[in-house]
Amino acid sequence: MSARTYPSHPQRTLYAPTPGELVRDLTTGLTGIYMAPGFGKEPTVYLRPRCGGCEWEACAYSIEPATPAP
């Protein structure tokens, strides 16, 4: 897990999770498991639902670590 900043998005820190880490997609509000980086023009990531299912692609700037439920 690491954090980097990019000149094109100076206002947000890019969160770089490790494969298998649980993260939250702030755009959709969904929680998923980080699978891999995407290959789009902008930084993206592939996420998969915790209980299995189809992956979705999310903007890398709109993910954060998921906090465990109390």
Query: Tell me: the pLDDT tens digits for 43-65?
Result: 899 999 999 999 999 999 999 99
Element (H, E) at 19: none
Domain assignment present for 9: no
Domain assignment present for 8: no
Partners of 33 in the β-ladder:
22, 48
Domain assignment present for 44: yes
Domain count, the chain: 1
pTM to 2 decimal places? 0.75
53 Cβ contact list (under 8 Å, min separation 6):
none
Length of the chain measured in residues: 70
Domain assignment present for 37: yes
pLDDT at 1 over 80: no
What values do phi and psi take at 60, rounded to 5? -65, -25
pLDDT tens track for 4-53 = 554 554 556 788 899 999 999 999 999 999 999 998 778 899 999 999 99
Domain that holds residue 32: 16-65
Q: Which residue has the higher pLDDT, 2 or 68?
A: 68
